[in-house]
Amino acid sequence: MKCLASLAVVAVAMTGSASAASLVNGGFEQPGTASVTYLNAGSTFLPGWTVVDSLPGGDTEIAYSNNGAFASYGVVGSEGSHYLELTGVTGRGKGVKSDAIDTVAGTTYRVGFDVGAFFVRGQGSYGDVTIDLRVDDVLAGSFTNALGLTSAGSDWQRFTYDFVAAGPSVRLTFLASTALSSSYLGAGLDNVTFDVVPQQPGGPVSPGGVPEPGVWALMILGFGLAGSGLRRQVRLA
């Protein structure tokens, strides 16, 4: 009887697999660097990401930094020990694009990310920072961190964006904005997350929550066998 009940539990647990989402290396902790590494457009040095440039012909590198590289200047990541600085040495329009992330059409997902603006010791404010988010190469929004520091430090602000998936996968692109109001000296990105948005109680059923045919079959088998075992127990009693 315990085996039958376990089978039913496994069947229920598997119903969530259809809506599982995966993002690789959202905190940019891999592969790691001892100080700072400059990555040019096209680089796949960061697992799960490709360096991109929306303004070909100009400066094309971004900076991949360890907290120790510029900590003495007040510049560190928002979490973990590594972060990206999308302007590289200087410039705008550069960033990273994720590998394909599994999605289920009709399911709502939430992208979360930290945008960093910096007040650098000995140099002063680097200004406000705007990062553009693209979902499957379509601009989803521009997110601005208005630097609130008046002394050396790192000002990180959390942003989220919800969207409904249109297909089986999606790619996310983060770019240092080309807007002149955004800093061309420092545009931090860290702590990128990607999650299914929980359904509200009593809300409409999301297609992402519907079990796949194979899972339905396992559920029916599991519950049927469990029910049969219960009926036998009742008769024996």
Burial of 198 (0-12, 13-18, 19+ CB in 10 A): exposed
Domain residue ranges of the chain, discontinuous segments joined by + = 20-209
Burial of 194 (0-12, 13-18, 19+ CB in 10 A): buried
The pLDDT assigned to 16 comes to: 45
The pLDDT assigned to 200 comes to: 78
DSSP three-state, residue 232:
helix
Predicted TM-score (pTM) above 0.85: no
Per-residue pLDDT of the chain (237 residues; tens, 9 = 90+): 444 444 443 343 344 444 455 999 999 999 999 999 999 999 999 999 999 999 877 788 999 999 999 999 999 999 999 999 999 999 999 999 999 999 999 999 999 999 999 999 999 999 999 999 999 999 999 999 999 999 999 999 999 999 999 999 999 999 999 999 999 999 999 999 999 999 877 665 544 444 444 444 444 444 454 444 434 443 333
Write out the DSSP string of 106-170. Answer: T-EEEEEEEEEEEEETTTEE---EEEEEEETTEEEEEEEE----SSSEEEEEEEEEEEE--SSEE
Closest Cα partner for 137 from 109, 98, 103, 164? 98
Q: Is domain 20-209 classified as CATH 2.60.120.260?
A: yes
The pLDDT assigned to 1 comes to: 44
CB hemisphere CA count around 91 (13 angstroms): 21
The pLDDT assigned to 226 comes to: 44
